[in-house]
Chains A and B, each alone.
Chain A
Amino acid sequence: MSRLLIAVAAALVLATSAVAAGPPVQADLEAEIVCPTCKTTLDQSNAPIAVRMKAYIRARIVAGDSAAEIKSQLVDQFGSGVLAEPPKRGFDLLAWLLPLGAVVVGAVVVGALAVTWSKRRNSTADGSGDDLDPGLEQRLDEELDRFEA
Chain B
Amino acid sequence: MTGRAKTVGQVIAVAAVVGLLVLLGWKLAFGNGGGASAELAGGGNPVAPDFTLPRIDAEGGDLTFASLKGKAVVVNFWASWCIPCKDEAPELQATYEKYRDQGLVVLGVDAKDFKQDGKRFIKRFGLTYPNVNDGKGSTLGKWGVRGFPETFFVDRDGRIVGEVIEGGIDLERNRERYAEGIRIALGDAK
**Contact residues of A with B, CB < 8 Å?**
36-37, 48-49, 51-52, 56, 77-79, 81, 105, 109, 112-113, 116-117
Contacts and interface: CB of A to CB of B under 8 A. Distances in A.
B112 A81 contact: no
Given A77-B135, A78-B136, A79-B136, A49 B81 contact: yes
A49 B113 contact: yes
Contacts, number: 39
A141 B125 CA distance: 102
20 contacts: A48-B81, A52-B81, A52-B114, A52-B117, A56-B114, A77-B114, A77-B115, A77-B135, A78-B135, A79-B135, A79-B136, A79-B137, A79-B138, A109-B9, A112-B8, A113-B5, A116-B1, A116-B2, A116-B5, A117-B1
A113 B1 contact: yes
Q: Which of A37, A51, A56, A79 has the most CB of B within 10 A?
A: A37
A37 B112 contact: yes
A79 B138 CA distance: 9
A49 B5 contact: no
B135 A109 contact: no
Contacts of B9: 109
A48 B12 CA distance: 46
Given A51-B81, A109-B9, A116-B5, 10 more contacts: A36-B112, A49-B79, A77-B114, A77-B135, A79-B137, A81-B136, A109-B8, A112-B8, A113-B5, A117-B1
A109 B113 contact: no
A77 B1 CA distance: 55
Nearest to B113: A49
Q: Dominant SS at the B interface?
A: loop
A77 B119 CA distance: 14
A42 to B, nearest CB: 14
Interface of B: 1-2, 5, 8-9, 12, 79, 81-82, 112-115, 117, 135-138
A112 B113 CA distance: 53
B11 to A, nearest CB: 11
Nearest to A120: B2
The 7 closest A-B pairs by CB, nearest first: A79-B136, A48-B81, A77-B135, A36-B112, A116-B5, A116-B2, A78-B135
B123 to A, nearest CB: 17
A112 B12 CA distance: 14
A132 B114 CA distance: 78
A78 B5 contact: no
Contacts of A116: 1-2, 5
A133 B137 CA distance: 71
A105 B13 CA distance: 12
Contacts of B82: 48
Contacts of A112: 5, 8
A49 B79 CA distance: 9
A109 B1 contact: no
Contacts of B2: 116
Nearest to B135: A77
Contacts of A56: 114
A105 B136 contact: no
